Amino acid sequence: MLRLESLSCGYGQMRAVHALDLEARTGRITALLGANGAGKSSTIMCIAGHVNVFEGRVFYKEAAITGWNPMQRVRAGIGLVPEGRRLFSSLSVRENLVIGGFCRAKDDTADGIDQVVQMFPRLGERFHQRAGSLSGGEQQMLAIGRALMSQPELLLIDELSLGLMPKAIDICYAVIADLKAKGMTIILVEQSTQRALEVADDVTVLESGAVVWRGSAREARESTEMIDASLGLTRNV
């Protein structure tokens, strides 16, 4: 579904990711793990079209999309749940969902909202409330719902569990498992290695912007090397 070839990206003159090769296969969850500053979020935002590419290429469904802007990418089917949710906080829950479906046909909006509310009934109860006044868990549900409104085939999720209560994390991960069962391709950035390995199929660990471990989730669960790498400890191993 998505392939990164020797991708180097960053901000201004600063490189956050160096020569990264990554493949997200159709219908699978690829977990991108690593400590703070490893380059996970930069990779996600680069795939979404928000971070400058210095070198390398991005392929989506075999088409080179390296030069595409964020709008073209979302229309092609790449959805984003950004780090920190980044909801439109002064807008209502409903309005956030409507915006999520902006790149799709107007007639699909009502159906899309119904599906999101079925997935997260709590959002239905908060429909006309300002997004900024929701709890952290509700905000994450809304961020996922907003991304799903664009009917993505590839969903990019940055820090799903960050700052959430355990119950909210359970709900969000249940939805992620459900989306995977429906065949959606997901790239999941997580600091909670244990949580990510519960749903992931493939794992890539980054440290200082480069890959330090790669393998299947089953291998990752048995690998102390991978645990060290995800904690940013490879230099000490």
Partner 1 sequence: MSPVFRAACERLTMLYFELLIQGLIYGSMYAIIAVGLTLVYGLLRILHVAHAGLFALGGYMGLLITNSTGSLILGMPLAAAIVGVVGMAIYRLCYQPILDQPPYVALIASIGLFIAMEEMFRLIFGPFGLTYTNAPLQSVVQFAGIYLRAVDLAIVVGSLSLLGALSWLSQKTRIGLAWRATVDDPQIAESFGISVLNVRYLNFFIGSALAAVAGVFISLLSNLVEPTMGGVPSYKALAIIVLGGLGNVAGTLIASLVLGVVEAFGTIYIGDILDRDAIAFAFLIIVLMIRPEGLFARR
Chain residues binding partner 1 by CB under 8 A are 48-50, 69-71, 74-75, 80, 82, 86, 88-91, 95, 98-100, 102-103, 106, 146, 150
Residue 70 or 183 with smaller CB distance to partner 1: 70
Least separation in angstroms between residue 212's CB and partner 1 is: 29
Residue 33 or 184 with smaller CB distance to partner 1: 184
DSSP character string of 140-202:
HHHHHHHHHTT--SEEEEE-SSTT--HHHHHHHHHHHHHHHHTT-EEEEEES-HHHHHHH-SE
Least separation in angstroms between residue 91's CB and partner 1 is: 6
Nearest to 158 by CA among 25, 43, 22: 43
Least separation in angstroms between residue 216's CB and partner 1 is: 30
Residue 105 or 237 with smaller CB distance to partner 1: 105
Residue 40 or 85 with smaller CB distance to partner 1: 85
Q: Which amino acid is at 98?
A: V
Least separation in angstroms between residue 203's CB and partner 1 is: 26
Least separation in angstroms between residue 146's CB and partner 1 is: 7
> CA-to-CA distance for 212 and 214, rounded, in angstroms?
7
Burial 17-48 (b: 16+ CB within 10 A, else e): bbbbebebeeebbbbbbbbeebbbbbbbbbbb
Determine the length of the chain. 237
Residue 53 or 91 with smaller CB distance to partner 1: 91
> CA-to-CA distance for 122 and 142, rounded, in angstroms?
10
